[in-house]
Structure 1
Amino acid sequence: MAAIACAVLAVLSAHIAAARECIELTISDNTIITESILNSTILKLSSKNETFEESVPVNVVELWERFPKVVVLRNSTGEQCRRDSQLYVDSLEKLELWALKMFDATAKPPSGILSGNGNQYGDFDECLSVDGAVRGKYCLASLLLSFEDKKYEKLDYLVHSGHYIKSNITDMGHRVPRFSSLLWGVCIPSSCSSFDLEEELSQRLSGLGVSVRVHNTMCTVKDVRRPYSFGKALSITFFLAILLLLSLGTIFDDGKEGMTNFEKLLNAFSLKRNLRKVFDLSDSPTKVKGIDAFRGMNAFALLIAHKSMAMAHSPYVNKVSFSEVFGMPWAVIGRSAILYTDSFLYLSGFLNAHNLLQELDRKGTIDLKNRLVGRWFRLFPLFVSLMLFCTYILPDISNGPQWNLVVEEHSRVCEKNMWKSFLFIHNYFGFEEMCLTHTHQIGMDMQLYVATLPLMVLIWKARTLGWSLLVGIAAASTLLRYLAIHWYDISMFVYYGISVQKLLDAARYSYILPTHRATIYLIGVVMAYFMRSKKFNISLSSAQVKLLWASCFALAAFTIVSPYRMGLEGYKYEHGPAALFAAFSPILWGIFMSMMHWAICNNYAGSATAFLESRPFKFFNNIAYSVYLTQFPIFFYNVGVQRHAEFYTPLLLLHAPEMLAVLVISIMATVAIEMPFNQVYRIYFGNSQKKLKEI
C-alpha cells in the first residue's frame, strides 16, 4: 500500500522521476503484482516499420509504463527545442502553471481502449493557451500497433476498432480516414518540430510494435494564420462583390421587372425575389414526372453515405460499436452508395437527352455554343464559389485537433489543383490531388454532356449508326468496369476491411472515370428517346401494374442486397463477386430506374403519386445542387472543430443541427449565387433555353 500511495502522490505532484521509481517498486513487490500475473500478460508485437528475426515479448505493464505520459524532447536537433524541453521539466517539478497546463493538455492512456476509445485528443484549447516561459504547440500523432501472433487477432480487432477501413499512418487522411490509426494529442514547446516529436515517440516506444507518424500539418500554434496571397485577396474581393450586389439588389427591388439590363441585373441579385422563387412550388409546364422524387430520395441516401464517411474520422468512446454497426447485413444499403450516384447519372442522361430532343424537334439541329454557355452558367458559379471559400476563407474561420488535416490540408490541395476543376477535368487525377473530392460527379457529368451533343445529332440524322454507336459505348463501358476489377484488385462495393489505398485505387481507375460510368447515363438517354417517341405508351391492367411494381422493387432490392456478404466482418476479397457487381449493377439499377420512371410518367403510381409529387420533393429540387455541393464542407468543418470523443449511436447519421445547417446554407447558396447567375445568363445570352436541373 505504501508503494501505491507513493506512486499516486508522485504523479499528483508531477514529479515524474519519483513516479517512475514508485511504479518500479510496485512492480517488483510480489504482494502487488506476482510473477504469474506478469507472465499471463505477455504479448508478442512486431513493428510495421522494422524487421525483427523474432517477435519482441512485451508485457502489458511495461507497455503501460513506457507509454509516455510526459513527452520531453531532450534529443531534438534544435538547440532551442532542447532548452525549452528542459525548462518544461524543471517548471513541471516546481508546479508552475504553464508547465502543468502543458502536461495536463497531453493525452493520457484512458480506460476503454478495447471498446474503441483509442483516439485521445487531450485538450487542444488548453495547450494553445500555454503562453508562459514557453508557448504551447498542439500536435496530433498517429500511432499504429502491429500484432503478429494470430492468437491476438481479437485484441488487434478491438484496439483498432474493428479495422472497418484498414489504414496505415502514411495514408492520405484529409478525405478518406486513417481509421485504423490511434490519434494521440501531445502538447510540446512551440520551438519543437513535428519531426522532433515523431523521433521522441518512436524512441520511447521502440520494440513495442508501435509505428509513429507526426505529420507537420497536424501541429498547431495559436494565432498562426496562413499568409495573404493573391488567391485569398481575389476570394475576399469576389465575396464582397457578391454581398454588395445582393445588398443593392435587395434594397432597390421594388417588385417590378427591370427595363434596362442593369436593372435586370440588380433584380437578379434580390434576396426577396429569389427567396420567393426558391419557395415557389408550382409545376413547370415542361416538367417530367417523378424527377423531383428520384432526385430527392437518392440525394438523401447519398447524403447519409457521405455522412458515414465523415463520421469515420471522428473519435468515439465506443468506436468498436461503430465498426460493428457497419458490419451488419443491413449496412449493405449504405455500402452500395455507388448505386445512388448512378441514379444521378441516369437522371442527367435522361434530362440532357430530353432537352436536346426538344431542340432537335424544333430546329432540326443543336445550338452548340448556347448549350455549352448555358451549361457553364448552370454549374460553374456556385462550384467556383465553394472552391474559393474552402480554399481561402474556411481555413481561417476556426480550429481544432483535426482542423489542419480535414480543412487546411484540403485547402492546400485545392490551391494547387483547382485549375483542373475550372476545366472540369479534375476527375482524371484521383482523390489524392482533387479539390472537393465529392465534385468528381460534376466533371463526369460535364464530359458526358459534351459527348451527348454529337451522339444525339447522330441518332437524329443517322438512326442505325447512332444507336449502334450508343450500344457499343455502353458495352465497352461495362467491359472496362469488369476488367478494372481484375487489373487493379479493386471493388466498387465498400467491403468490410477495405484499405484506404484500395478505396483510392477504385476511384482513380474506375469510379470517377466517365468511360467506366457511361452505361447508366446512356440508359437514361435511351429512356428519354423512347418516352418522347411514345413507343412504349401501352395500357396495363391492375394485375399487370402490380406485377410491374413488384418487379421494380425486387430488382432494386436484388441489386442493393446481392453483395451483402462482402459487407460482413471477416470478408476476404474475391475478384469474381466484385467484378460482377461493378459490371452489371449499373445495368440492373438503370433498368429499375427506367421501369419505375415509365410507370410514374404513365400514371401507374396509384396512391404513391401524391407522395412522389409532394411539396418537399419539389422544394428540394430547387436547392438540390447546393445541397450536393455544401454537405461535405459542413461535415468536415464539424470533424475539424470536434474537441472530444462522443458516444456513438446510429442516430448521429441524422444529427439534427448538422442537417439543419446543410438545409439553411444550401438555401442561402441557391438564392445568393446559383439563382442570380442563372438569371444573368438569361439576361445576357437570351432566354431560348428553359432551365432544367440536370445534376
Structure 2
Amino acid sequence: NYSNSERSILDLWKLYPLTILENSNVSSDCKTAYDKYLSRFHRNDLNATKMFDATAKLPSGILRGNVNQYGDFDECMELDEAQYCLADINIEPLWKEPYLKFKNMVHSNFPIRDKIGDPKHRVPGFTLIRWGFCIPKDCTNTDLEIAIYEKLQITSSVQPNMCQKANPHFELTYGYILAVCFFLTIAVLIGASTLLSSWNLNEINNSVWIQILMCFAIQRNFKQLTAVKESKGEIQALHGVRALSALGLIISHKVMALYFNPFMNRSVMSEVSKCTFGMKWSVIGRTAIIYTECFMLLSGLLGANAMFSDLDRRKTIVFKDKLINRIFRIT
C-alpha cells in the first residue's frame, strides 16, 4: 500500500483502458456492436485485431511531450464495420500530487495553451492531447466522449466531422460531376490553345473567340508571368518586400504544422535552450501575422497611391468606380 505521496507513476499509467467503450454507459447499439467486437477480438479474429491495432496506445516519450497519438487511420479505414475518431482530450484533472511534477514535461512547458471549445486553427495547442480511436461504426462521437469520461474521469471533445467511416461504394454527386466537367473543360482549353499557339494558327484567324481561347495558352501565360516590365510610378522596392513576406509566411506555416506531429521529443522543440521556439530570432518562423499584416500594409499603400494618382489626373475621386473595382477584386 502506497501513501498518496509515494504512489508510482505506474498507477496513473494503468488508468488507460485498452478497451475504452467496455462497460460504459453508451447507447444500446454501440454497446451491442462493441460487445461483438470484444468477443471476436478475444477469439483473435483478424478484423477485430486490426481495430484494436489501429487505435492509439500509450507510447514512449510521454515525459518529452509525445502525447499526440493518431493510431493507424488507413488500417481502420480498411474495415467496413469500423470508424476512425480523433478526440481532443483534456487531462488537466489527472494532474494532482504526486504526479504534478510531470505536468510541464508532458505538455512541453505549455508554449501555446488551448482548451476544449477553442476554434480550430492551424496553430497547435499544447494543453489538449489528440488521440485516435478505431471503434465500431454503430457508435457515435457522443458515445466515445461518454466512455472517455467514465473510464478516465476527464473531459474530451469528439466532433462529428472528426469521425470517418469507410466508404466502399463511391457515390457520384452533382458537385463532383460539376467539378470534373469544369477541370476537364479547362484542360481541353489549355491543350487546344497551346496547340494553336505552337502552330501559329491564331495569327491566321484573328477572331474574338480565338483571342479568348489564346488566354489559356501555356506559352503566352508563361511569357507574361516571367516578363519583367517597369510601369510608370511603380515602387520597385515593394517587390522585394512581397517576396520576403511570402517566404516568411511559407516558413511560418510549415513550422506551425510540424507541432501537430506525434514527436518523440516535442518538448525539445519548444525548449529555449534546445530548440527555436523560445529563441528570440524564432519570431521569423512562428509569427505569421507579421507577414500577413505586411501584405495589408502594402495593399493600403498601393491603394492610396492609386487614389492620389487618380486625384492628380482627374482632379476628383469617383468613389463608385473605386468601390465596384474593389468588389470585383475581392470576389
Give the superposition deviation at 1:306.
Answer: 3.0
Note the C-alpha offset of 1:118.
0.7
Alignment of 1:283-298 (within 5 A): 283-298=230-245
- Quote the offset at 1:372 in angstroms: 4.7
**Counterpart secondary structure, 1:183:** strand
Per the alignment, residue 118 of structure 1 pairs with 67
1:141 aligns with 2:90: no
Q: What is the CA distance between 1:246 and its match in structure 2?
A: 2.7
**Equivalent in the alignment of 1:211:** 155
Matched, 1:222 2:166: yes
Secondary structure in 1 matching 2:90: strand
- Displacement of 1:83 in angstroms is 2.2
Query: 1:643-658 alignment to 2 at 5 Å?
Result: none
Which secondary structure does the structure 2 equivalent of 1:304 belong to? helix
Equivalent in 106, 113, 122 of residue 166 of structure 1:
113
For 1:129, give the aligned amino acid.
Answer: E
Q: 2:179 and 2:113 mapped to 1: Cα distance?
A: 38
CA distance in structure 2 between the aligned counterparts of 1:293 and 1:225, rounded to whole angstroms: 50
Partner of 2:129: 182
Conserved? CA contact 1:73–1:196, under 8 Å: no
Q: Which amino acid aligns with 1:250?
A: T
2:306 paired with 1:355 = yes
1:355, distance to aligned residue in structure 2 (A): 2.5
Which of 184, 193, 206 in structure 2 is aligned with 1:249? 193
Flag the 1:182–1:346 CA change in 2: closer, same or farther, 3 A. Answer: closer
User: Could you say if the C-alpha distance between residues 226 and 181 of structure 1 is closer, same or farther in structure 2, counting changes exceeding 3 Å?
Assistant: farther
Partner-residue secondary structure (3-state), 1:170: coil
User: What is aligned with 1:312?
Assistant: 259
Q: Which has the higher helix share?
A: 1
- 1:526 maps to none
Within 2, Cα distance between the matches of 1:232 and 1:372? 35
Whether 1:275 and 2:222 are equivalent positions in the alignment is: yes
Note closer, same or farther for the CA distance 1:120–1:336 as it changes in structure 2 (3 Å cut): closer
- In the alignment, the residues of structure 2 paired with residue 224 and residue 365 of structure 1 have an alpha-carbon distance, to the nearest angstrom, of 64
Cα offsets for 1:612-651 (capped at 9, x unmatched): xxxxxxxxxxxxxxxxxxxxxxxxxxxxxxxxxxxxxxxx
Specify whether residues 308 and 272 from structure 1 end up closer, same or farther in structure 2 by C-alpha distance, changes over 3 A only: same
Give the distance between the partners of 1:355 and 1:179, measured in 2 at CA: 45
- Check the 8 A contact 1:141/1:184 in 2, yes or no: yes
Given the superposition, is the C-alpha separation of residues 169 and 178 from structure 1 closer, same or farther in structure 2, using an over 3 Å criterion? farther
Letter in 1 for 2:221: N
| C-alpha deviation, 1:295, in angstroms | 0.9
Q: Percent identity at matched positions?
A: 37
Q: How many residues align?
A: 323
What SS is found at the alignment partner of 2:14? Answer: helix
Once the 2 structures are TM-superposed, how far is the Cα of residue 96 of structure 1 from its aligned partner?
1.3
Measured after TM superposition, the shift of residue 116 of structure 1 is 1.0
Distance 1:213 1:349, change over 3 A: closer
**Structure 1 residues 375 and 353: alpha-carbon distance in aligned structure 2, compared to 1, 3 A threshold:** same
Q: Residues 179 and 313 of structure 1 are in contact (CA less than 8 Å); yes or no, is this contact kept in structure 2?
A: no
Normalised to the residue count of structure 2, the TM-score between the two structures is 0.83
Query: Closer, same or farther in 2 for the Cα pair 1:190/1:174, shift >3 Å?
Result: farther
- Give 3-state SS (helix, strand or coil) of 1:186's partner: strand
Partner residue of 2:13? 64
Equivalent-residue separation in structure 1 for 2:170 and 2:103 (angstroms): 39
Deviation at 1:117, TM superposition (A): 0.8
Structure 2 CA distance for partners of 1:246 and 1:372, relative to 1, 3 Å: farther
Instruction: For 1:137, give the aligned amino acid.
Output: Q
Cα distance in 2, alignment partners of residues 337 and 126 from structure 1:
35
* 1:340 and 2:291 matched: yes
Alignment CA distance shift 1:73-1:234 (3 Å): farther
Query: How much does 1:335 deviate?
Result: 5.2
Offset of residue 260 of structure 1 = 3.2
| Corresponding residue for residue 87 of structure 1 | 36
Equivalent residue in structure 2 for 1:331, among 282, 291, 306: 282
- Name the CA distance, whole Å, in 2 between partners of 1:110 and 1:350: 52
Aligned partners of 1:76 and 1:192 also within 8 Å: no
Q: What's 1:301 paired with?
A: 248
- Displacement of 1:235 in angstroms is 4.5
- Aligned residue for 1:155, secondary structure, equals helix
In structure 2, relative to structure 1, the CA distance for the partners of 1:367 and 1:212 (3 Å cut) is closer
Q: Is the 8 A contact 1:139 1:219 kept in 2?
A: yes
What does residue 666 of structure 1 align with?
none
Show the counterpart of 1:11.
Answer: none
Question: Could you tell me how far apart the structure 2 residues matched to 1:41 and 1:212 are?
Answer: 29
Shift of 1:80: 3.3
Unaligned stretches of 5+ residues in structure 2:
none
Contact 1:250 1:271 in 2 (8 A): yes
Rounded to whole Å, the distance in 1 between the matches of 2:19 and 2:114 is 27
CA RMSD of aligned residues (A): 3.1
Q: How does 1:228-627 map to 2 (within 5 A)?
A: 235-253=179-197, 254-255=199-200, 256=202, 259-324=206-271, 325-334=276-285, 337-366=288-317, 368=319, 371-380=322-331
1:109 matched to 2:58? The reply is yes
Residues in 2 aligned to 1:102 and 1:361: alpha-carbon distance in whole angstroms = 71
Structure 1: unaligned runs, 5 residues or longer: 1-34, 43-58, 381-695
What is the TM-score when the length of structure 1 is the normalising length?
Answer: 0.42
Q: Distance in 2 between matches of 1:230 and 1:150?
A: 57
**SS across alignment from 1:163:** coil
